[in-house]
Chain A
C-alpha cells in the first residue's frame, strides 16, 4: 500500500495559488474575500449527525439479519438501499419525522454519494465526535475543518465556521494551527450578522470616517500605555489585537452584515436601524423554509451564505437537540440521534430524513452558485465535500431502544469522489460492517476502517496530503 512520502499539498497548486493571490485584486460583483485564491479554494461542509447515526438505518439498510427492514427501497442503478419513511412518534404522543424519503436523496445524488464503512474507537459522545473530525489525530491533531481552512481557505476572515457544539466543535490537538483557522463558534445563526460589523445599526453612532479615526486613536493610545508595555508578549493580548486588525475592516467593507442577515426585515424593523436582509434570502428560504424557527435550517442557510460570500470554506453544522414541535409533530427527535436509546428505529429514521433533507437543499444551492461569484471558476459544488460525521453506530437491532456501537459507516457526498458505491460491506448475519482495500476498493471482510481512514479518504479527495496518509485511489474521482 502506497503511503504519502512527504507532507504537504501539491506544491505546484500552492505556488500557483500564492502567485494568484499576490496578483489578483478584489473587484465589484465578486466576493471581497476571494483574495485571488479562488483557483485553489475548496469547501468542506461537515454535517454532524449528532448522537450516533447508524448506517444500517440508511443507505446500508438490510433486508435480512438482526436489523432487517421490510419495504426497503432500491433506487435504479444504485447499490444503496433506502429505508422507508416510518410513522413513529415521541412517546406515542407527538408524530415524529418530516416525511422526507431517503430514496429521494438517492434519486438526486446517488452518483456523488459514497458510503465508507468503519469501526470507530470510542462510544463516548464527546470523544467520538472529536475523533470523527480529527481522524483520531490522523494529521498531527489537526481537525478536518482546521486542515481544510488552513490549506484551502487562506486569508478568509472566518475560514472555519462552527455551527455545531460538543466534540465536533473542539479544537484539534495540533498546537501549530493559528487561531485564524480555529472554529469561529456561532451561537445563534439568525443573529450572527451583527457581530460582523463594528457600528452599523447603532443608534447615534458614527460613520466610517469617524470609526477609522477612533480606531487609529485607540492604537496610538495603546501604543503609549504602560499596560501595553507591561504585557508585551502576552499571548491573549497579542491574539486579540492581531484579530482586531486582521478582520474588522475587511468584514465591514465587504458588507458582511448584510450578506449574512437572515432576520425577517418587517418583524425586526431592520430598515429603521439601517440594516437590510441578505440579498440571497429568497434563495436560502426556498431551500430552508423554516429557517426562522428551525436552528438546523438557519445554520445551513448561514453556512452556505458564509461560503458563498467568501468568508468561510470549512463549515460545520449540527441540528438542534430540541425537538422542533409544531401542530404537525416534530421533524427531529429529542437529543437528535441519541433518542435511539428510547426508540431506535423512530429516532434513526426521523433524524436521517431530517439531516438528508437539509443536505439536499444545501447541495442544490452549491450546484447553482459560482465560486466567489465568478462564473469562470465554476460552481461551488464542483469543489465541495459533504461529510455526514457521526460519533458511532448503534446496536444492530430493528426495534426498541439501542445502545452505542463502534461498528458503523459514514456517508460522503462529493463530485470529488467516485460515487454510487459502497466502500466495504455488511455481514448480513450480524449487521456488522467490514472494510475495504483503499487502493482497489475491494471489500475485505478481515479489515476494519478507522477514523483515520475516513479522514484520509476525505483528505485525498480534496487534495490534501500529509505524512502517513494512505492513497484512496479507488475512492477519488480524477479531475
Chain B
C-alpha cells in the first residue's frame, strides 16, 4: 500500500535524538526469550537476508515454481493447482507466500524478499495438487503413463526397486539431475511404509517435489 502525498517532507530532529540499534540494548525479555540474534544466525531471517558469499541461494519464485511443475509433470498450466477447484493457487491464493506480489488491487509493490513462515505449507499444497493431477492422468492413460509408470497404481505395495525407479524419474523431472546412491537408499527404506500404491506414489512425489532443492536455486 502506498498512498498519495502532496508535501513529501521529512522532518528530522537535529537535537535530542539518540536512537541506537545495538544488540546490547534491545533485549526485551528474560532468559527464555526465543527471539535473539542466535536464532537469526541459525537462519531466522532478519533485516539482511544475505549469507556469506557462495551460500546465497535464489528462491524459485511462483512462476518458475509453477513452470517446474508444468514441465516436470507434463501438465497444462491450468491443471497444476486450484483451490476449491476454481481459484488459482499460483496467481491468486498463494501468490504472496510463493514469492509474488499483487500491485493493482492489493497495493503490494514489492515481493517478499524471502519465504515466509507459511511458504512450506503452500508449497506442499501445490505440489500435492499437481502430483495428484498427474497421477489421475497416468491412471487413465494405462500403459501410456508418463510419470507414474514404475509400478501398478492398484494392487500390491510397491517394492524398493520400483520405488527407486520411480524416484529416479522424479529426481530428473523435478531437480533436473540423477538421484544419488544415498538418496535411493532412503527411498528404498521407504518401501512398505505406505501400502497403497497410489498414496505411495503421491508421497514420493511430494517428498522429492517439495524438497528444498526444488525451492531454491
Contacts and interface: CB of A to CB of B under 8 A. Distances in A.
Direct A/B contact, Cβ within 8 angstroms? yes
The contact size tier of chain A is 35 or more
A175 B40 contact: yes
B41 to A, nearest CB: 8
Interface residues of B, number: 104
Interface stretch (A75-83, A210-218, A365-373, A428-436): A210-218
B112 interface: yes
A87 interface: no
B35 A217 contact: no
Nearest to B116: A184
A247 B120 CA distance: 10
Interface in A173-199: 173-182, 184-185, 187-188, 191, 194-199
Contacts of B124: 198-199, 248
Given A8-B30, A218-B206, A237 B43 contact: yes
A105 interface: no
Interface stretch (B9-17, B67-75, B141-149, B154-162): B9-17
B203 to A, nearest CB: 4
Contacts of B180: 224-226
Contacts, number: 361
A127 B42 contact: no
A202 B55 CA distance: 35
A205 B3 contact: no
A316 B136 CA distance: 42
Interface string B78-98: 000001110100001111110
Contacts of B94: 194-195
Contacts of A243: 115-117, 119-120
Contacts of A226: 180
Interface in B158-217: 180, 182-183, 185-187, 189-190, 193-194, 198-199, 202-204, 206-208, 210-213, 215-216
A137 B26 CA distance: 11
A206 B136 contact: no
Which 3 pairs, one residue from A and one from B, show the smallest C-beta to C-beta distance?
Answer: A238-B43, A179-B45, A140-B26
Interface of B: 1-13, 19-23, 25-37, 39-40, 42-52, 55-57, 59, 83-85, 87, 92-97, 102, 105-108, 112, 114-122, 124-125, 128-129, 132, 135-136, 180, 182-183, 185-187, 189-190, 193-194, 198-199, 202-204, 206-208, 210-213, 215-216
Given A174-B21, A198-B124, 20 more contacts: A14-B33, A121-B10, A125-B3, A125-B5, A140-B25, A150-B35, A177-B40, A178-B35, A178-B46, A187-B96, A198-B125, A203-B132, A204-B202, A205-B132, A206-B128, A234-B55, A237-B43, A240-B120, A403-B6, A466-B27
19 contacts: A123-B9, A164-B1, A165-B106, A179-B117, A191-B93, A195-B121, A204-B136, A205-B128, A213-B203, A214-B206, A217-B207, A224-B186, A235-B49, A239-B45, A241-B212, A248-B121, A251-B121, A338-B5, A466-B27
